[in-house]
Amino acid sequence: MNTTNQSTGQPSSPPDSRRWIKSILRLTMSFLLPVGILAFALGAYVYQMETRPRAQRRPPARQARLVQVEPMHKTSSAAVLSAMGTVQAAREITIRPEVTGVIIAMDPEVLPGGILRKGQVLYEIDSRDYQAAVRQRESEVELARLNLKLESGSQTIARHEYGLLEEIIEQQDEDLILRKPHLEQARAALDAAQAMLEQAKLNVQRCTIRAPFNAVIKHKYADLGARVSPTDPLVSVIGIDEFWIELLIPVDQLPWVQVSDTGDRPGSAVRIYNPAAWGEDINRTGNLVRMLGHLEEQGRMARLLASIQDPLGLEEPSAPPLLIGSYVRAEILGRNIPDIFPVHRRYIRGGNEIWIMNDQGKLEIRPAQIVFRNKETVYVRDGFQEGEKIVITDLSTPVEGMPLRTESFNPHEPAANSGDSQRGPQ
């Protein structure tokens, strides 16, 4: 049933319809307003992102590595070769008697380690038998001289008689008549007697055993009262005027050494070190005298002989003694190498490369022409200039052209900030 507005007389809308319309309006407003706000915010964000200032991307600056350097200096230097060797005797003999007899005297220095001087009497052998033989030979010489004189007189008589004959005879008969063979026989007998006398005197001299050269006794075999013969050893001695040291070096280093020749030119100088006995800084000096004609069997090394004079220091007491059998270290001062740069071995990288810091403070990796190398030093030539700086600091990843700096030099910073380079590596 329809209701009528009493005041106007128009039919009125039902209340439910008005409520439904209001609900639709409220729902629409509650949905559209947030959506509008979100849309506005999104648009503003997109606008801000599109119109924002953009920073230019740049590669990061490479930081200079702090290193230490040493300058290179050109010089001329002798090639120093390192070697090891064993001390051995230059002269070693066993003294034996040349006559048979009983030892009646002996020098008190005849003991192992005793020092002998050339000509020093070591032993005296009983010489009475040999002196008696001398007197006997002297009488034989006098008898032979008398026979020669008698035969000379007989020849004078025979020549006179031959002149009286005035006959022509053959030459052979003439020699017999003049007794020429008899005269030659008498002369020969005199020569033989004199030779036997000299032999007898020599045997007397041989009863005195003397040191043949300055030496030290290695072994003693005979003592006072012993009867000895030429087959019996008396003492073995080692010459003390000179010792030899056999040194081993690689064959490719032979061109750098000079051995003594028949002229006046000495061989290469050698410094001998024996740290265990003398200390680290004490050395003896000598010269190379010979190169042996065969290689060492195990390592195929060349063999050289170095000579050391007065090895026991008897003439120069301040010199340390060098003993037979000592294993020593040697430095051979070889031929001179001109116009080279000496570089320590640990600054050679990768076998034959050297790191250089150039004037722009960048790393240069240069191959080195190695002329000679020894235990501590490598000598290089070409490709380097006087005063160039060798990088002596180890770099984990060296790259050609990488920036470098030292504590006093950093070419990659402005002058105003040069003080920052003193801070060290970052």
The CATH fold assigned to 65-77+339-421 is 2.40.420
**pTM beyond 0.85, yes or no:** no
Length of the chain: 426
CA distances from 364 to 79, 358, 391, 403, 413 (A): 28, 7, 10, 10, 20
pLDDT of residue 372: 86
- Nearest by Cα to 211 from 228, 235, 231: 235
Which residues are CB-contacts of 86 (< 8 A; sequence separation ≥ 6)? 245, 246, 325, 326, 327, 328
Tokens of 24: 């639709």
Which residues are CB-contacts of 302 (< 8 A; sequence separation ≥ 6)? 248, 249, 250, 251, 253, 254, 291, 292, 295, 296
- Nearest by Cα to 324 from 250, 400, 216: 216
Give the domain ranges of the chain. Answer: 65-77+339-421, 80-90+239-335, 95-237
- Nearest by Cα to 194 from 144, 130, 151: 144
Spatial separation of the C-alpha atoms in residues 205 and 100, rounded to whole Å: 13
Tell me which H or E stretch contains 18.
helix 15-51
CATH node for 95-237: 2.40.50.100
Q: What are phi and psi of 337, to 5 degrees?
A: -110, 115
Residue 206 three-state SS: helix
pLDDT in tens, 212-257: 999 999 999 999 999 999 999 999 999 999 999 999 988 888 888 8
Which ranges of the chain have pLDDT less than 50? 1-9, 415-426
pLDDT of residue 115: 93
pLDDT of residue 58: 66
Helix 180-206 vs helix 128-165: angle between axes, to the nearest 10 degrees? 170
**From the DSSP assignment, how many helices (H) and strands (E) are in the chain?**
5, 22
pLDDT in tens, 343-384: 998 999 888 899 999 988 899 999 988 888 877 888 998 888
Spatial separation of the C-alpha atoms in residues 394 and 412, rounded to whole Å: 21
CA dihedral 252→258→261→263, nearest 10 degrees, is 150
The CATH fold assigned to 80-90+239-335 is Elongation Factor Tu (Ef-tu); domain 3 (2.40.30)
Residue 367 three-state SS: strand
Output DSSP code: residue 409: B
